[in-house]
Structure 1
């Protein structure tokens, strides 16, 4: 019995430890950019809300197609002054029943439906434009987080030997073998390096928070981003071709084009509103006319004397002209964006091509050798500090340049609206 109890307790402890380990592993999420994009497409709250705008627009098309409701009226005599009867309900009481239907003329309903269909198309384009903007933001944030984490790791590589030096030199200073001023200078260098590492870690935390919001994941999840080995594209920028592609793939530009079409439909609707609608109906009057049961057909329409919708037509014409100006502006902005993106990419490519791809590994190797040389008094303190700061600054600039090239290529993708440089 005792052995059975001990075995049961060990089993429970093992299961608890396994569950705790699984929970810790679940809170760590290692992602590639395609994996992050897949989660983003499924769980991003902004995209979910934008999709609902498309459904709202489709519902408004249904409403635009609907006929106006018929109008029904019932008239009951309140007081019969011949027989002095209030609210008479017998067979001799007068009753009037009317029913009428408004018939919209000049194709108003069809034109209103066309406007609603264009608005639904705009809602769909706005969804894809939001997707384009958020996906670009996500990609940039993922790469920034990756390089922030890499720079923080490189800081730790430099900080570790300095921590060991401080510990050794502190002990040697107490024995009188090393000057106290040298220990103090090393401590200051270590403090500055730790502050730099802390700044990077906090920057990474801010970026990680934005990514969590974009991916709609739990706040306590720790993200680690893996990106493939970066290889710049060999294809040269072609702004003329990109400008042509952008007109077919930029949804914000498509929206301005389709709003031009919508303004034409709105003008046609405004002109149709000037045509009077027709009201058709029938009426039954019991004991209220020259005969006991009186039936009549009713036909009515407004006389376009005072209101011919001149203001509405004029406003629609001005809106059409205004939209043409906006379309011209959008086309000009598109061309400028394309040429600016190509110019920036060329500038960053030129800088990146001057980098030595082996610089990172070489500097880490040399850093270790320099630390040993300083320990053996082959280098002065100032020479060691100079190399340490050079290592820290150059390695950070190397990562920043590589990240800038990625962002310049991604900016081209965003500006064109198409992955010219796939990830």
Structure 2
């Protein structure tokens, strides 16, 4: 090898050493450069979510609708006013002959005019139907309120988990973007060296493959971040804006795990779907009581005044009417309500089993990530960061070759990514336990 070639190769490796010694991981996630950025914390997002979310607003309307139904159930039936007269008298050819007949006609009992009848009726609900209707409507409102709480619980969990995924995916994206910059610089340097015969062509190809791997990772995380942005925009009712929601911080607290029995008791006590299954039983019981009361027919009372059309000139009559419960005693509706009550009881038992299973599942996941997080050796994160520093120093000193250097850099990248994923998984499992118990343990 000539003195000139040797000098070029030495200069090339010195250049590589200066190029690869760059910072490896940004601490603060950064948005796409072209997007308008809204820096938001999780409490700020939650406040906007409570004020703007379409599903919550719609569910609040359901509560108001159920409240209006209570008012309607408490209203008594309207009285019925009935009026009748003669439209056309063929004997006299008169239309609406309401004129009082002459005294001669009265004496001869001929009534070609003056006839009308007025009837006023009122339905009286018997067997406590109105109070039972009100009680059933109140139960329906309770169901709507519990449904609102359950929707709120689910959407808040979605908000928290999406925010965390976005926060940690941005960290991973920054990691791969910085690694791509390093890799592209290294690849370009090797292309220059290849032209002078300093490196073999396969080494350049190997670096290009590594570059493509990084670009693929960046594309995958960019796609995930786009999905998370879309989810947050829907949750916050910001679908018409292209502003990038940038999470500012996410605290990582690792307090002691609650007792599993305490978690189960909290879930059975606090989860709205548990209360919903119990309220469905109450609703079915009130529905059954209402259907049984309907076996008793309602009473229709009335007063009738009739002029020139009954036993005497001015007739006032009392009216009472009631259906006779001979064949229809509401048997089918009562049986249906009884079966609905039995079904609600089974549904409550099933829901309690689901809740206990949810808590145990979430608890096991959280316990696993707690163990993984707490088992990290002292100084582990510092040693991760030192991998890239030591690899760069060794490569610059020609202690290791290119393949060893790339292997160490891949180890560094995977270790950083594992740390990001562990923090995300730990936060997600904490939120899952809070979600399945509807209790803020974390």
The answer to whether TM tops 0.5 is yes
Equivalent position to 2:200, from 167, 172, 179: 179
Q: Distance in 2 between matches of 1:265 and 1:413?
A: 33
Q: Distance in 1 between matches of 2:386 and 2:183?
A: 15
Cα separation, partners in 2 of 1:90 and 1:352, compared to 1, 3 Å: same
Q: Decide whether the 8 Å contact of 1:136 with 1:414 is kept in 2.
A: yes
Between 212-221 and 258-267, the greater mean CA deviation after superposition: 212-221
Q: 1:104 aligns with which of 125, 128, 143?
A: 125
Aligned-pair CA distance for 1:231? 2.9
CA–CA separation in structure 1 for the residues paired with 2:397 and 2:176: 23
1:369-394 CA deviation, whole Å, 9 max, x = no partner? 42353355332222122223222222
Query: Which of the two has greater helix per residue?
Result: 1
**Cα separation, 2, equivalents of 1:136 and 1:275:** 49
Q: Kindly state the Cα deviation for residue 85 of structure 1 after the two structures are TM-superposed.
A: 4.0
Provide the aligned length of Structure 1 versus Structure 2: 397
Whether contact under 8 Å (2:387, 2:408) holds in the other structure is no
Partner of 2:284: 263
Q: Kindly indicate whether the alpha-carbon contact (under 8 Å) linking 1:263 and 1:319 is maintained by their aligned counterparts in 2.
A: yes
- The whole-number CA distance in structure 1 between the counterparts of 2:297 and 2:311 is 32
Q: Within the alignment, does 1:72 sit opposite 2:81 as a pair? A: yes
Give the secondary-structure state (helix, strand or coil) at the position aligned to 1:49.
helix
- Alignment match of 2:232 (pick from 200, 207, 211): 211
Aligned residues of 1:250 and 1:416 also touching (Cα < 8 A): yes
What's the CA shift for 1:414? Answer: 0.6
User: 1:244, CA displacement in angstroms?
Assistant: 1.5
Match of 1:231 in 2: 253
1:286 to 283, 307, 320: 307
Aligned to 1:140: 161
C-alpha distance in structure 2 between counterparts of 1:359 and 1:229, whole Å: 20
- String of CA shifts for 1:270-298, please: whole Å, max 9, x gaps: 11101011111111111101211111111
**Aligned residue for 1:5?**
none
Q: CA deviation at 1:25?
A: 12
Unmatched segments (≥5 aa) in structure 2: 1-32, 101-112
| Alpha-carbon displacement from aligned partner over 1:280-334 (angstroms, at most 9, x marks no partner) | 1111111101211111111111111121111111111111111111111111211
- Residue aligned with 1:68, SS: coil
Tell me whether 1:306 sits opposite 2:332 in the alignment: no
Q: What TM-score do the two structures reach when normalised by structure 2?
A: 0.85
Shift of 1:191: 1.7
Name 1:125's counterpart in structure 2.
146
Further displaced range: 236-245 or 137-146: 236-245
CA contact (8 A) 1:97 1:284 kept: yes
1:159 aligns with 2:168: no
| Cα RMSD (Å) | 2.0
Partner of 2:337: 316
Structure 1 CA distance for aligned equivalents of residues 311 and 221 of structure 2 = 96
Give the match for residue 9 of structure 1: none
Shift of 1:360: 4.4
Contact 1:57/1:123 (8 A) holds in 2: yes
**CA contact under 8 A between 1:158 and 1:367: conserved in structure 2?**
no
For the residues of structure 2 that align with 1:160 and 1:401, how far apart are their CA atoms?
25
Match of 2:191 among 170, 173, 176: 170
Give the C-alpha shift of residue 186 in structure 1. 0.9
- 1:211 Cα deviation after fit: 1.2
TM-score (norm 1): 0.89
The answer to whether 1:391 aligns with 2:438 is no
Distance (Å, rounded) in 2 between the aligned partners of 1:114 and 1:229:
46
- 197-206 or 365-374, which moves further after superposition? 365-374
Return closer, same or farther for 1:26/1:185 CA change in 2, 3 Å cut-off.
closer
Distance change >3 Å, CA 229–CA 76, structure 1 → 2: closer
Aligned 8 A contact 2:387 2:412 in 1:
no
CA distance in structure 2 between the partners assigned to 1:391 and 1:366 by the alignment: 6
Q: What residue number does 2:14 align with?
A: none
The one of 10, 14, 37 aligned to 1:28 = 37
SS of residue in 1 equivalent to 2:231: helix
Secondary structure of the residue aligned to 2:304 is strand
Q: Are the aligned partners of 1:169 and 1:178 in contact in 2 as well (CA < 8 Å)?
A: yes
Deviations 1:377-413 (A, max 9, x none): 3322221222232222222222112211111111110
Work out whether residues 164 and 250 of structure 2, in 8 Å CA contact, stay in contact via their aligned partners in 1. Answer: no
Q: Spell out, residue by residue over 1:159-195, the C-alpha distance to the aligned partner (whole angstroms, 9 max, x if none).
A: 2222221122111211222222211211221121122
Structure 1: any 5+ residue segments left out of the alignment? 1-23
User: Is the Cα contact below 8 Å between 2:119 and 2:303 reproduced in 1?
Assistant: yes
* Partner SS state of residue 119, structure 2: strand
Partner of 2:309, secondary structure, is coil
Q: Distance in 1 between matches of 2:338 and 2:41?
A: 51
